[in-house]
Amino acid sequence: DQQVKQNSPSLSVQEGRISILNCDYTNSMFDYFLWYKKYPAEGPTFLISISSIKDKNEDGRFTVFLNKSAKHLSLHIVPSQPGDSAVYFCAAPLFTGNQFYFGTGTSLTVIP
């Protein structure tokens, strides 16, 4: 059973516009969430995280929003750049250091 879901397998956005990647989860016990970015032939790399006690975390062009009542989080990339083209995974652990539950990923293509 997927505890973390990404329902959009792909997304295309024009360069300079906003990219919004969505993630839903089922377990209200998750206490923080992470986004990973993966380029072809490379392993996923950590991008940004958010604790469940916050509803927003911003790092440069990347902002993650958390809506606990809806069990939903989203990653906003503004402005989008061609180098952002990658697969993005959302993930959540039950406890720090424990195994992470990953979504199936969303492939973002930023069109120049």
Site for another protein, residues 8 to 67, rule: CB under 8 A: 32, 34, 36, 41-46, 49, 51
The single residue among 20, 75, 91, 110 that binds another protein, judged by CB under 8 A, is 91
Number of residues this chain uses to bind another protein (CB under 8 A): 24
- Amino acid residing at 108: L
Q: CB–CB of 3/91 below 8 Å? A: no
Q: Measured from the CB of residue 50, what is the shortest distance to another protein in angstroms?
A: 8
First CA to last CA across the chain, in angstroms?
A: 37
Beta strands in 39-85 (DSSP E): 45-51, 56-59, 62-67, 72-77
Q: Which chain residues interact with another protein by CB under 8 A?
A: 6, 32, 34, 36, 41-46, 49, 51, 89, 91, 93, 96-97, 99-105
